[in-house]
Amino acid sequence: MKSPLITQNLTKRFGFRSGGRAALNSLSLEIAPGRVVGLLGRNGAGKSTLLHTACGLILPTTGSCTTLGRPCAELDAPELSQIGFMPQEPAFLAWMTVRQQLDFTATFYATWDRAREPRLLGDLELDPTRKIAQLSVGDQQKLGLILAVCHHPQLLLLDEPMSALDPIVRTRLMAFVVDLIREDASTILLSSHILADVEKIVDWVVVLDRGELALNSALDDVQET
């Protein structure tokens, strides 16, 4: 199988003064298929920029990013239908209920799994009749996760998925991700600034520091050092 995500000298700059600030700086990285990767680094290290670039929402300034075999700027329906993305701050149609948002999103995916919805709603204690405008930040993150996985993506990108969740729900989320790994055999990139949040489920660790690759190693090797 081809690597689902490859970057070569990927640089992304924001702003125009002095060439702009580099959120990613000559990043070369290859993620093996089926791997569960903890993408770690302090706030501002470039984690979110990398995930947004991988799904084509941000384009490289220089270098390249290839997702599911295609340059990120050229991603189309065949690739996008195989990507699940949960941003740190999901954006929804606030006037909809949770149920309406699920139904709306499902229309874009031929592989949407209706049977998975109620299980996840129950596991994450999310009421489908509530309006999105009334949801807490944590509940919006729960909805973002459900929307990211109900079409059985080949590549799942989770940007700080636990940042607004309480410890009990974090435990449930971790259990769900373990089930997802078993069911879908997806490649997963899960960003966090705390290794302890993800070490129970990841098998590989990538650490970014000021947009550069600081570590790219198996979790077992990291724990032995």
Whether the per-residue pLDDT at 73 is higher than 60: the answer is yes
Structure confidence at residue 18 (pLDDT): 46
Whether the per-residue pLDDT at 166 is higher than 90: the answer is no
Quote the tokens at residue 172: 């449930």
Q: Partners of 27 in the beta sheet?
A: 10
Angle of helix 167-184 relative to helix 116-123, nearest 10 degrees, comes to: 160
pLDDT digits (tens, 9 = 90+) for 107-118: 999 999 999 999
Which residue from 39, 4, 36 is spatially nearest to 24, judged by alpha carbons? 39
Whether the per-residue pLDDT at 98 is higher than 90: the answer is yes
Whether the per-residue pLDDT at 45 is higher than 90: the answer is yes
Domains and CATH numbers, the chain: 5-224 (3.40.50.300)
Instruction: Yes or no: say if 159 and 192 are a contact pair by the CB < 8 Å rule.
Output: no
User: Which residues 6+ apart lie within 8 Å of 54 measured at CB?
Assistant: 5, 65, 67, 72, 83, 155, 157, 189
pTM: 0.92
5-9, 66-70, 100-104, 176-180: range with lowest mean pLDDT: 176-180
Quote the tokens at residue 188: 């997963």
23-27, 53-57, 165-169: range with lowest mean pLDDT: 165-169
> Which segments within the chain are labelled E, that is strand?
5-14, 21-31, 36-40, 62-67, 70-71, 83-86, 155-159, 187-192, 204-209, 212-218
19-23, 47-51, 136-140, 165-169: range with lowest mean pLDDT: 165-169
